Amino acid sequence: MIEAIYRLRISLRDSKPPIWRRVAVPANITLGQLHEVIQIAMGWTDSHLHRFMLQDKSLINRDTQVIARLTEEGRHDEIFPASRGIRLFVPRSDPFGDELDMEGEDEDAITLAEVCPKVKSKMTYEYDFGDGWEHTIEVRKIEPAKAGVKYPVCLAGKMACPPEDCGGVFGYYRMLEIAADPDHEEHEDIVEWLGDDFDPEAFDIDEVNDMLTQWREG
Protein backbone atom coordinates (compact mmCIF):
# COMPACT_ATOMS: atom_id res chain seq x y z
CA MET A 1 0.00 0.00 0.00
CA ILE A 2 1.33 3.43 -0.98
CA GLU A 3 0.97 5.95 1.81
CA ALA A 4 3.01 9.04 0.88
CA ILE A 5 3.59 10.58 -2.53
CA TYR A 6 6.37 12.90 -3.63
CA ARG A 7 5.65 15.49 -6.29
CA LEU A 8 8.93 16.15 -8.10
CA ARG A 9 10.02 18.69 -10.65
CA ILE A 10 12.78 17.36 -12.90
CA SER A 11 14.54 20.12 -14.84
CA LEU A 12 17.30 19.79 -17.43
CA ARG A 13 20.01 22.24 -16.41
CA ASP A 14 20.99 25.06 -18.76
CA SER A 15 17.99 24.47 -21.01
CA LYS A 16 16.36 27.66 -22.29
CA PRO A 17 13.41 27.66 -22.45
CA PRO A 18 13.39 25.14 -19.58
CA ILE A 19 12.89 21.48 -20.41
CA TRP A 20 11.11 19.97 -17.42
CA ARG A 21 8.73 17.30 -16.17
CA ARG A 22 6.58 17.09 -13.05
CA VAL A 23 5.95 13.59 -11.71
CA ALA A 24 4.33 12.01 -8.66
CA VAL A 25 6.10 8.97 -7.26
CA PRO A 26 5.84 6.83 -4.11
CA ALA A 27 8.04 8.03 -1.26
CA ASN A 28 9.57 4.57 -0.99
CA ILE A 29 10.66 4.41 -4.63
CA THR A 30 14.32 3.43 -4.89
CA LEU A 31 16.74 5.67 -6.75
CA GLY A 32 17.22 2.84 -9.24
CA GLN A 33 13.50 2.86 -9.95
CA LEU A 34 13.45 6.67 -10.05
CA HIS A 35 16.14 6.52 -12.73
CA GLU A 36 13.80 4.47 -14.91
CA VAL A 37 10.92 6.89 -14.28
CA ILE A 38 13.12 9.86 -15.24
CA GLN A 39 14.21 8.11 -18.43
CA ILE A 40 10.59 7.60 -19.45
CA ALA A 41 9.31 11.02 -18.35
CA MET A 42 12.12 12.97 -19.98
CA GLY A 43 12.26 10.84 -23.14
CA TRP A 44 15.77 9.38 -22.90
CA THR A 45 16.57 5.86 -24.12
CA ASP A 46 18.66 4.54 -21.19
CA SER A 47 21.61 3.95 -23.50
CA HIS A 48 24.27 5.47 -21.25
CA LEU A 49 25.50 5.45 -17.67
CA HIS A 50 23.99 7.64 -14.98
CA ARG A 51 24.33 8.62 -11.34
CA PHE A 52 22.60 10.59 -8.62
CA MET A 53 24.49 13.23 -6.64
CA LEU A 54 23.45 14.62 -3.26
CA GLN A 55 25.15 17.57 -1.58
CA ASP A 56 26.10 16.73 2.01
CA LYS A 57 28.41 19.36 3.53
CA SER A 58 29.14 17.13 6.52
CA LEU A 59 31.14 14.88 4.19
CA ILE A 60 33.52 17.56 2.91
CA ASN A 61 37.11 16.42 3.30
CA ARG A 62 39.58 19.29 3.10
CA ASP A 63 42.56 17.16 4.09
CA THR A 64 45.04 17.81 1.29
CA GLN A 65 46.86 14.59 2.11
CA VAL A 66 43.69 12.58 1.45
CA ILE A 67 43.15 14.32 -1.89
CA ALA A 68 46.83 13.82 -2.80
CA ARG A 69 46.63 10.10 -1.96
CA LEU A 70 43.51 9.65 -4.10
CA THR A 71 45.28 11.42 -6.96
CA GLU A 72 48.42 9.33 -6.57
CA GLU A 73 46.40 6.11 -6.54
CA GLY A 74 44.49 7.14 -9.65
CA ARG A 75 41.16 7.19 -7.79
CA HIS A 76 40.02 10.30 -9.63
CA ASP A 77 36.30 9.52 -9.34
CA GLU A 78 36.60 9.88 -5.56
CA ILE A 79 38.34 13.27 -5.56
CA PHE A 80 35.29 15.34 -6.48
CA PRO A 81 32.98 13.78 -3.84
CA ALA A 82 35.68 13.99 -1.16
CA SER A 83 36.47 17.65 -1.79
CA ARG A 84 32.91 18.85 -2.33
CA GLY A 85 30.91 16.77 0.13
CA ILE A 86 28.94 14.80 -2.45
CA ARG A 87 27.19 11.48 -1.95
CA LEU A 88 27.04 9.45 -5.14
CA PHE A 89 24.42 6.80 -5.89
CA VAL A 90 25.17 4.58 -8.86
CA PRO A 91 23.91 1.47 -10.69
CA ARG A 92 25.67 -1.84 -10.22
CA SER A 93 25.17 -2.83 -13.85
CA ASP A 94 25.07 -0.85 -17.09
CA PRO A 95 22.11 -0.60 -19.52
CA PHE A 96 23.34 -3.77 -21.21
CA GLY A 97 23.47 -5.83 -18.02
CA ASP A 98 27.24 -5.82 -17.54
CA GLU A 99 28.53 -5.54 -13.97
CA LEU A 100 29.96 -2.14 -13.05
CA ASP A 101 32.50 -1.01 -10.50
CA MET A 102 31.50 2.63 -10.18
CA GLU A 103 32.39 4.66 -7.10
CA GLY A 104 29.31 5.32 -4.98
CA GLU A 105 26.45 3.79 -3.03
CA ASP A 106 24.05 1.30 -4.59
CA GLU A 107 21.08 3.22 -5.98
CA ASP A 108 18.84 0.18 -5.53
CA ALA A 109 19.51 0.09 -1.78
CA ILE A 110 18.18 3.53 -0.91
CA THR A 111 14.81 5.23 -1.27
CA LEU A 112 13.93 8.73 -2.36
CA ALA A 113 12.49 9.50 1.08
CA GLU A 114 15.79 8.62 2.75
CA VAL A 115 17.82 11.13 0.77
CA CYS A 116 15.16 13.80 0.20
CA PRO A 117 13.16 13.80 3.44
CA LYS A 118 11.36 17.12 3.09
CA VAL A 119 9.84 19.64 0.70
CA LYS A 120 12.47 21.65 -1.22
CA SER A 121 15.02 18.83 -0.90
CA LYS A 122 17.13 18.66 -4.06
CA MET A 123 19.51 16.29 -5.76
CA THR A 124 21.20 15.99 -9.14
CA TYR A 125 20.67 13.26 -11.71
CA GLU A 126 23.34 13.02 -14.41
CA TYR A 127 22.81 10.97 -17.55
CA ASP A 128 25.46 10.20 -20.19
CA PHE A 129 28.78 11.33 -18.75
CA GLY A 130 30.01 12.26 -22.22
CA ASP A 131 27.20 14.67 -23.07
CA GLY A 132 26.69 15.48 -19.40
CA TRP A 133 22.91 15.86 -19.18
CA GLU A 134 22.42 17.14 -15.62
CA HIS A 135 18.93 17.33 -14.13
CA THR A 136 17.84 19.04 -10.94
CA ILE A 137 15.32 16.99 -8.97
CA GLU A 138 13.34 19.06 -6.47
CA VAL A 139 10.68 17.87 -4.03
CA ARG A 140 7.77 20.24 -4.55
CA LYS A 141 5.19 18.54 -2.35
CA ILE A 142 4.72 15.53 -0.07
CA GLU A 143 1.13 14.35 0.25
CA PRO A 144 -1.04 11.28 0.87
CA ALA A 145 -1.64 9.00 -2.11
CA LYS A 146 -4.94 9.64 -3.87
CA ALA A 147 -7.45 6.82 -4.17
CA GLY A 148 -7.65 5.35 -7.64
CA VAL A 149 -4.39 6.90 -8.87
CA LYS A 150 -1.63 4.55 -9.95
CA TYR A 151 1.88 5.81 -9.33
CA PRO A 152 4.28 6.88 -10.69
CA VAL A 153 2.46 9.28 -12.96
CA CYS A 154 3.54 12.26 -15.04
CA LEU A 155 1.58 15.40 -14.15
CA ALA A 156 2.98 17.96 -16.59
CA GLY A 157 5.94 18.86 -18.74
CA LYS A 158 7.32 21.27 -21.29
CA MET A 159 9.51 20.94 -24.38
CA ALA A 160 10.88 17.88 -26.15
CA CYS A 161 13.75 15.82 -24.84
CA PRO A 162 16.96 16.46 -26.81
CA PRO A 163 18.18 13.59 -29.02
CA GLU A 164 20.78 11.23 -27.61
CA ASP A 165 24.46 11.82 -28.46
CA CYS A 166 24.04 15.39 -29.72
CA GLY A 167 26.82 16.93 -27.62
CA GLY A 168 25.00 17.99 -24.47
CA VAL A 169 22.82 21.06 -23.94
CA PHE A 170 25.03 23.45 -25.89
CA GLY A 171 25.53 21.00 -28.74
CA TYR A 172 21.76 20.55 -28.89
CA TYR A 173 21.06 24.28 -29.19
CA ARG A 174 23.74 24.65 -31.83
CA MET A 175 22.01 21.93 -33.85
CA LEU A 176 18.66 23.73 -33.52
CA GLU A 177 20.24 26.97 -34.75
CA ILE A 178 21.69 25.20 -37.78
CA ALA A 179 18.39 23.43 -38.48
CA ALA A 180 16.65 26.81 -38.51
CA ASP A 181 19.17 28.31 -40.96
CA PRO A 182 18.68 26.97 -44.51
CA ASP A 183 21.82 28.79 -45.62
CA HIS A 184 24.11 27.05 -43.15
CA GLU A 185 26.52 24.60 -44.79
CA GLU A 186 25.53 21.88 -42.30
CA HIS A 187 21.79 22.52 -42.53
CA GLU A 188 20.83 19.48 -44.61
CA ASP A 189 22.98 17.10 -42.55
CA ILE A 190 21.54 18.34 -39.25
CA VAL A 191 17.94 18.22 -40.47
CA GLU A 192 18.50 14.67 -41.71
CA TRP A 193 20.10 13.72 -38.37
CA LEU A 194 17.28 15.25 -36.30
CA GLY A 195 14.54 13.97 -38.60
CA ASP A 196 12.00 16.02 -40.48
CA ASP A 197 9.38 15.54 -37.76
CA PHE A 198 11.51 16.65 -34.81
CA ASP A 199 9.75 19.43 -32.90
CA PRO A 200 11.74 20.94 -29.99
CA GLU A 201 8.53 22.19 -28.39
CA ALA A 202 6.65 18.88 -28.50
CA PHE A 203 5.72 16.97 -25.36
CA ASP A 204 3.11 14.20 -25.24
CA ILE A 205 2.04 13.57 -21.65
CA ASP A 206 -0.35 10.78 -22.69
CA GLU A 207 2.47 8.88 -24.36
CA VAL A 208 4.63 9.27 -21.26
CA ASN A 209 1.89 7.96 -18.99
CA ASP A 210 1.20 5.04 -21.31
CA MET A 211 4.89 4.12 -21.04
CA LEU A 212 4.79 4.50 -17.25
CA THR A 213 1.79 2.15 -17.17
CA GLN A 214 3.73 -0.42 -19.17
CA TRP A 215 6.69 0.03 -16.79
CA ARG A 216 4.49 -0.50 -13.71
CA GLU A 217 2.94 -3.62 -15.17
CA GLY A 218 6.15 -5.00 -16.67
What is the C-alpha separation between 52 and 25, in angstroms, rounded? 17
- The predicted-structure confidence for 140-181, as pLDDT tens digits, reads as follows 999 999 999 999 999 999 999 999 999 999 999 999 999 999
For residue 82, name the pLDDT band (cuts at 50, 70, 90): low
Our count of domains for the chain comes to: 2
Q: In terms of DSSP bridges, do strands 50-55 and 20-26 run parallel, antiparallel, or are they unpaired?
A: unpaired
Beta bridge partners of 134: 126
C-alpha atoms less than 13 angstroms from C-alpha of 35 in its C-beta half-sphere: 26
Domain that holds residue 50: 4-159+203-217
Residues 136 and 174 in one domain: no
Mean per-residue pLDDT of the chain? 90
Residues 168 and 132 in one domain: no
Residues 72 and 12 in one domain: yes
Flag whether the pTM goes above 0.85. Answer: yes
Phi, psi of 169 (to 5 degrees): -60, -45
Residues 118 and 177 in one domain: no
For residue 93, what is the DSSP state? B
Residues 192 and 85 in one domain: no
What is the C-alpha separation between 189 and 178, in angstroms, rounded? 9
For residue 24, name the pLDDT band (cuts at 50, 70, 90): very high
More confident residue, 1 or 150: 150
